Amino acid sequence: MAEELPTPEDETGSQPTESGLTPEEIAYMERVQKKRLVIVIIAGIVVLILGFLAGQNLSSLKSAADGLDVLLTGAPMAPTNWVI
Structural domain contains residue 4: no
Residue 80 lies in a domain: no
Measured between alpha carbons, how far is residue 21 from residues 11, 32, 36, 44 in Å? 13, 15, 20, 32
Residue 78 within a domain: no
Higher pLDDT, 82 or 24: 24
The mean per-residue pLDDT over the stretch 65-82 comes to 60
Containing structural domain, residue 41:
23-71
Comparing 62 with 50, which gets the higher pLDDT? 50
Q: Is 13 part of a structural domain of the chain?
A: no
pLDDT per residue over 10-58, tens digit each? Answer: 455 667 778 888 889 999 999 999 999 999 999 999 999 999 998 888 7
Give a yes or no: residue 45 inside a domain: yes
**Which position has the higher pLDDT, 43 or 76?**
43
Domain count, the chain: 1
Q: Residue 69: is its pLDDT beyond 80?
A: no
In a domain, 55, yes or no: yes
